[in-house]
Amino acid sequence: MLMRNEGRTLKSQIVIMFLLIGLAPLFSASILAFYSSQKTLNEAIGMVERDFAIKTMDKIDREMENIRLTVESWTSFENRKVLANLAIEGQKKNYDELFEQWSYDGSTSTLGAQFLKNLQRTNQDQFKEIFLTDLRGYVIAATDKTSDFDQGPADDPPFGEKWWAAAKKKGEHIGEIAFDDSAGVYSVDINMSIKDDDDETVGIIKVVYSVENIRDLIGGGGHGTSRHYELLNRYGYIVAATETDQAGILEETSRVVLPDNKEVWKNRAAKNGFAIGETETEKVLMGWSRGEAWTVLTYSPLDAAHAPLQQQARWLMGVSAVATIIILLVALAVGNRVVSEMLGKELMAQEIQTAQSMQMGLLPEPLDIVGLDLAGRCLAANRVGGDYYNYLWMDNEERKLAIVIADVAGHDMSAAIPAVMFSGMLDFAVKEGTPGAMLTALNQSLCQQPKRTPFITCCVAIIDLDEKEMRWSKAGHPEIYHYCTHKDAVEELTAESYPLGVSQKSDYSDETVHLHEGDMLIFYTDGLPEAANPSGRVYGYNRLERSIHRVAQAGLSSMEGINQMIDDVRGFIDNTEPEDDITVVVAKVT
């Protein structure tokens, strides 16, 4: 008889044990789920930011290439002849004559200026300024008065202004973003040489493209949303950014740095990417795309991105509190019962034995089938295991046989009860008629259970004895082995799929294989190839394939083959108790 103090001590121990066993997995799973969700969410949002940056960079690159091609078209065909003639005629005039015209109105009223203004209007005023110089660098026509009359070597020795000299030498020059004094805007200038009919350079045209056009391309990134963007030049200075005014352009560098305090625009190895970065005030999820002259960077506050996770954490805390109360009540009830019945060892043994009897009662009786030698064997690692198999006739003539093999995650009662439930569901799922449809129906039933059940791997195969073919489908279960008599080879029947009870969206399709007399089909659970010997080495799939080949070549019956395969595994693990259930079903075409 237990003393009162001993009973209290035992009861306290039981309560603590239940709390540890019940809450530790819950807290562990909650923490793992939280951090896993955080990582997945970070990657998802980071990829969205990166993809937005790549898309924006593509728009900018296409825009700049279209602008370049537009200007290039002016230096070709009929426009080239007009511009070349204007440059040649201007070259004939002396300095004083051209300077007087420029001083009067900036050379904006000449026929050449009217032609340039027409080009400007034709392109919807994308260009803030266009002007043409002769080979001396003198402005001979312009849409707006330039800040300087002479762009050439006389005013800026020895070669003239950098852009002018580059366009004259190379035929084309695209400048950096800068403030254009003449146009009064931040701009990129496109400069090209004008050729005459003999392909000789006779003049230079400069086109000023406003950065405002590029900022309009990005415009969807910022105001009124949590996303911010920055457009940086090749030196890391801001060209455009969310809520940045004109004063900040080309004066401020990026507000965001990588975790190692490196700036994205300096990271030349990573053209496109995403990461967690930092501003002066907060951490952000950032994505970027880097081109030759630009870097597009987008980012969103990390706190805003993690708001759904905070809600999830509060929900998990609530669930944990409820679970703690439930587990505590259960522990107290069990403790009282254990103490009052001398720890209830015998009763527990009877309950486990009952569960074992229930599970073993689910396994099918042997079938005597014309044309098929069929056998199965289940070797439980503990007294109650999670492996299950069954045979079901799909037609009244008993010529189409369904073989079902499944493995419930876990052992003992946690696996036995779901196995019993699964057997009941199977009786309804068989009405679906095909393996894939049966698995889909089983998956829906498991996912809709009010209490979360362990996931189940399963394989369903329907053998048509008349047609000598097998239709099959599987849900996360090990591959079927098919010994082909005419090839004398063991082949794997493979298909990718999720276990049952993982996702309600899972869908399962059918596969078909033709059979010949002497062929063998081997269905098994993962306890067979994953059986480990005392040194930790596993039996493995290669040994299993060789064992199947020996059985087939020996001409053994299905049950003899199963026994030989299990004996081979037992020998490998030195006849120690396997850690997982081992189930094998063999069907041999006769």
Q: What is the pLDDT of residues 101-126, one digit of tens each?
A: 999 999 999 999 999 999 999 887 78
* Selection from 466, 461, 460 nearest residue 398 by Cα: 466
CATH of domain 355-589: 3.60.40.10
In whole angstroms, what is the distance from residue 587 CA to residue 182 CA?
Answer: 88
Q: Which residues, in sequence order, are CB contacts of 54 under 8 Å at separation 6+?
A: 272, 289, 296
Report the length, in residues, of the chain: 590
SS3 at position 250: coil
Of 317, 226, 315, 308, whose CA–CA distance to 41 is shortest? Answer: 308
Name the residue with higher pLDDT: 338 or 408.
Answer: 408
Q: Which of 322, 321, 262 is nearest to 295 (CA)?
A: 262
Name the residue with tokens 């309950």.
351
Q: How far apart are CA 171 and CA 562, in angstroms?
A: 82
| Fold that domain 75-213 belongs to in CATH | Beta-Lactamase (3.30.450)
Residue 15 has pLDDT above 90, yes or no: no
Give the C-alpha separation, 216 to 269, whole Å.
29
Do the domains at 75-213 and 355-589 have one common CATH topology?
no
Q: Enter the pTM of the model.
A: 0.46
CA gap 221, 461 in Å, rounded: 53
Which residue ranges make up each domain of the chain? 75-213, 355-589
Q: What is the pLDDT of residue 223?
A: 38
CA–CA dist 493, 482 (Å, integer): 7
Choose among 415, 396, 405: nearest CA to 364. Answer: 405
Joined together, the tokens standing for residue 217 give 């391309």
Give pLDDT tens digits for 418-470: 887 888 889 888 888 899 999 999 999 888 887 777 889 999 999 999 999 99
Nearest to 364 by CA among 400, 396, 401: 401
pLDDT tens digits along 403-427: 999 998 876 666 677 887 888 889 8
Cβ(537)–Cβ(522) under 8 Å?
no
| 491 token code pair | 């082949």
pLDDT digits over 138-188, tens only?
A: 999 999 999 899 999 988 889 999 999 999 999 999 988 877 776 667 788
Tokens standing for residue 114? 């009217």
The set of residues, in sequence order, having a beta carbon less than 8 Å from that of 175 and lying 6+ positions away, is 163, 188, 189, 190, 191
